[in-house]
Amino acid sequence: MTSCIYSSNPSSLATPARDQELAKQYGLDTLRRVDLDELARESDALFVLAPGGLETRHLINEEFLKKMKRTSVLVNTSRGTLVDSDALVKALREKWIWGAGLDVVEGEPMVTMDHPLVKEPRCVFVVLGYAYERWSR
């Protein structure tokens, strides 16, 4: 990876000096803050790392997913509620994006083997402990 873009809470201040320092530290050509539209349009791999709550519920929704590249991969390791599961299923089935990697999903722990994302071949779950045992049967 040589270029990194990110988005953050609109109320937080931009930190260009920190971005330059981190880019240098990690050998990146660029590291810059963008709005959500540009984040969706430009990301090859999008890692969702945000707190849950009402303000971020379904932050990744149908509108967002439609803006992404057909070759993009979405990875959510934060909170299941950040990604609209129905929209993600649709995005994968209709090939708006290439794939998804999840270790959280909306509705946990009541997610069963018949959940559409569990059945989706272009969606990979990282599952540990109890959930792994239940899903591996």
CATH code assigned at 68: 3.40.50.720
Query: In total, how many domains does the chain have?
Result: 2
Task: Give the structural domain span for 11.
Answer: 1-34
Considering the domain architecture, whether residues 64 and 119 belong to the same structural domain is answered as yes
Please write the tens of the pLDDT for every residue from 49-99.
999 999 999 999 999 999 999 999 999 999 999 999 999 999 999 999 999
Considering the domain architecture, whether residues 68 and 127 belong to the same structural domain is answered as yes
* CA nearest to 75, candidates 52, 107, 97, 42: 97
Instruction: Give dist(CA 42, CA 68) in Å, integer.
Output: 7
Angle CA(88)–CA(94)–CA(97) in degrees, nearest 5?
Answer: 60
Considering the domain architecture, whether residues 19 and 52 belong to the same structural domain is answered as no
Residue found under tokens 């201040």: 13
Considering the domain architecture, whether residues 40 and 30 belong to the same structural domain is answered as no
**Which has more confidence, 137 or 47?**
47
Considering the domain architecture, whether residues 74 and 130 belong to the same structural domain is answered as yes
* Single pTM value for the model: 0.86
Considering the domain architecture, whether residues 62 and 123 belong to the same structural domain is answered as yes
The confidence score (pLDDT) of residue 130 equals 43
The confidence score (pLDDT) of residue 133 equals 43
Considering the domain architecture, whether residues 28 and 42 belong to the same structural domain is answered as no
